[in-house]
Amino acid sequence: MPRSRSGPGTTGPTSSSTSWTPVTVTTGYKTELIKPRKPWHGLADVELGTAEWGDWFNNQRLHTAIGDIPPHEHETNHYAHHQPRPAAGVNA
């Protein structure tokens, strides 16, 4: 399945080449989810949309700084290649 730079409910492509701070995450959330999908029909709709957007942001969005792969995939690859070493004097 091809990966998309757009998240659930977005109106256009998203570039992840910038550093995401809490402010930019909130702005992106409002721009990509809240505004395009209004009017919302209640808190339950907002909560579900937020969960979907959070999943996309953390697990599916492509991030140019890490080779156009999703952050979750990058983290999985990192830990697969960097297993913690046992502490000195501990028999494994």
- Where along the chain do its domains lie? 22-81
| Lowest-pLDDT range of 4-13, 20-29, 61-70 | 4-13
Does residue 25 or residue 68 have the better pLDDT?
A: 68
> Does residue 41 have a pLDDT over 50?
yes
Q: CB of 50 within 8 A of CB of 25?
A: no
Does residue 90 or residue 16 have the better pLDDT?
A: 90
Q: Tell me the three-class secondary structure of the chain, residue by residue.
A: CCCCCCCCCCCCCCCCCCCCCHHHHHHHHHHHHHCCCCCCCCHHHHHHHHHHHHHHHHHHCCEHHHCCECHHHHHHHHHHHCCCCCCCCCCC
